[in-house]
Structure 1
Amino acid sequence: MRILVYSRTTGFRHDSIPAGVAALTALGRDHRFEVVATEDPAVLTPGELAGFAAVTFLSTSGTISADPSARDALERYVRDGGGFAGIHAASTTEYDWPFFGELVGARFDRHPDVQPARLLVEDSAHPATAHLPAVWSRTDEWYDFRTNPRDRVRVLLRVDETSYTGGAMGADHPLAWCHDSLGGRSFYTALGHTAESYAEPAVLGHLLGGIRYATGG
């Protein structure tokens, strides 16, 4: 099984991308799938994408390619059943492309400073959260989104805004979710701003579970 990890940025670039690529590559090695990591938009063609069980956007930003046909290729891939996983800044990508907004589930709006917070598991049956405690405390950058995706997705994890300062979504603040409304399975998590995130076993299990969901198991 092959997974594409795509990390092209034309907006803000996260320093944690190399750590994320290394962690996902190690997960593939340990769990018997091949990770192909690239920032080359030439991979976004029907022929290339057909060789992957899922496409992972790792803290991408801005546009996925200067070639508009790349959008068509990704949309066709997903609508034909291909899996998608978005990590952290994937929600800052392609703001003017409605399909991608539906695919990722919600658009990034703002965030306060990196700080500790409590995460609350909503769905312990999902492979991305089954290994987590009901209340999970860790440090990261906590995204607010332009809209709450709850009515369009299956929420897996939310953040308790009373446990940190600067949150603006209120009591219902999803951070990770999934859906299959566009053909293939889609998973998104807002976790993963810091390089240290990719050394946390619980985060790695979360990402592995999300990829497993996106590939259909």
Structure 2
Amino acid sequence: MKKSGVTIAVLASLVASQHVVAFEKGDLIARVGIANVSPDESTSNVFVGGADQGASLEIGDDTQLGLNFAYFITDRINVEVLAATPFSHDVSFSNGARLGEVTHLPPTVSVNYYLNSPSSAFQPYAGIGLNYTFIYDEEFSSENEAAGLSDLSLDNSFGLAAQIGADYILDEKWFINGAVRWIDIDTEATFSAGADRGSVSTIEIDPVVYMVSVGYKF
């Protein structure tokens, strides 16, 4: 009888663990991990003093600490805020010559819909949202400054964002996450080249953001 009682207790424990609710209305979750911003850029050519220089721009990727917070307004829908430490990107001419560097923060608010039942450990979701990218600390390389380039400035950007991702529930509080996000970031650049003004009228950065993180449910 004692052996039978132990067996029943173990089975009951296993059944209970399989029915942990992933998320429900009113839950607040936080995720922290590594985020990589990989631009899929397309730019117009660089103009100086009205003359086409015959070169466009290329923008490098960067990896930083990624953070996001989400609040569930139903068992399957949450509102998420994406944050991160600042991303810095090398900017080069299309011929490979380094031009300088820009830094940005891409706060994004998204609404996500979870596809599986809240009782499932695997929780895939899809979302759409809005992004406002702050671009600052634009600077030319020392070589370009010595050549007479200065006053680099890029406009901030407002655009759409979309993502797919999945949480995997480990226990009542902890889970892991993987997500891929696309952000519409469009800007333009102006600068001084000696006595002339220069510009790049169209810079479509449109990065894909990859993030792997650990999450906690409050």
Comparing both structures, which one devotes a greater share of its residues to strand? Answer: 2
Q: TM-score, normalised by structure 1?
A: 0.23
Richer in helix (by share): 1
